Amino acid sequence: MKRVLVASCQENLLSTITLVLKQWGYRTIGSCKSEELHELVDTVAPQLVVLDDAWLTQQSPDVRSALLAHLNTNTAHLALITAADSPLAEISRAHHILPSPVNIFSLYSLTQTLLEDYPRRNFRTSINLPVMFRRQSRSWELARIDTLGTGGMFIKTGHRLQAGEVLGLCVPLLGMHEELEMIGQVVYAVEPCPENNYMQGYGISFSGMEGNSTSALNDFLEDLFFMRVDKADGNRESFDPTDLRRQTRRQAALSAHI
């Protein structure tokens, strides 16, 4: 299991990032104490260390310099959560920058790039949601979405589709009173067989999405993901998704689909 060490003086941000990373399958340890970090770097041997610039600002220059020097002697990647106008000189010593406020898409991209042998390009999550699709000069057909992401989706349908086939898509964004219309293309097929319990489905990539559609899809995926994290968190008081996102959750409309 890949290991991540997170340091922040903002308790909600620290606990929320820790919960998110655990949801993605990483062993994650959070700390707000500088004296602990030196020991944790050695004992945990993390592949990734994420520091909050607000936390770094509270440390003395000597402590900051010693900590960063210690990190540079290890093989861990160093990422710094910081605003674009941060005055911290240590920014230049970070390997990677996470713009503040952090969102799950930049955090997902960072962990995929740095920690995964076969990184995914786009954030995605499982869901049970209807989708309408239409082939050229044909009527609309109904299918089910099994996974949905920023770049595409996997659908289950009894209809036979061909690789490369272009589809019109209509996805209801439940809880947002909005339907997302876009163009998709079949990029691969899963044929039914005993090894996959006779599941038949198709991977669809999105194309030609406009800015408003992209923003709506991202908001919907955030809602869905944070509901899942919220359900998995046994200590609700430690979880505050507003630290990583802007929108309010639409829990009632989405709860039946996760």
pLDDT tens per residue, range 112-162: 999 999 999 899 988 889 999 999 878 999 999 999 999 999 999 888 899
Instruction: Indicate whether 63 pLDDT > 90.
Output: no
122-258 fold: Thrombin, subunit H (2.40.10)
Sequence-distant (≥ 6) Cβ neighbours of residue 255 within 8 angstroms: 227
The answer to whether the beta carbons of residues 130 and 143 sit under 8 Å apart is: yes
Where are the strands (E) in the chain, listed by range? 3-7, 27-31, 48-52, 77-82, 96-99, 124-134, 140-149, 152-156, 166-173, 178-190, 201-207
State how far the Cα of 243 lies from the Cα of 98, in Å rounded to an integer: 14
Domain boundaries, the chain: 3-115, 122-258
pLDDT (0 to 100) of residue 86: 66
The answer to whether the beta carbons of residues 169 and 133 sit under 8 Å apart is: yes
Instruction: Indicate whether 190 pLDDT > 70.
Output: yes
pLDDT (0 to 100) of residue 251: 43
pTM of this prediction?
A: 0.81
* Residue 98 pLDDT level (bands cut at 50, 70, 90): confident
pLDDT (0 to 100) of residue 123: 93
CB atoms within 10 A of CB 123: 21
Q: Domain 3-115: give its CATH architecture.
A: 3-Layer(aba) Sandwich (3.40)
Average pLDDT value for residue range 242-246: 51
Instruction: Indicate whether 189 pLDDT > 80.
Output: yes
More confident residue, 177 or 132: 132
SS3 content of the chain, % helix, strand, coil (to 5): 40, 30, 30
More confident residue, 74 or 229: 229
Instruction: Indicate whether 223 pLDDT > 80.
Output: yes
pLDDT (0 to 100) of residue 233: 64
pLDDT (0 to 100) of residue 88: 62
Q: Structure tokens of 244?
A: 């990583």
Percent of the chain beyond pLDDT 70? 84
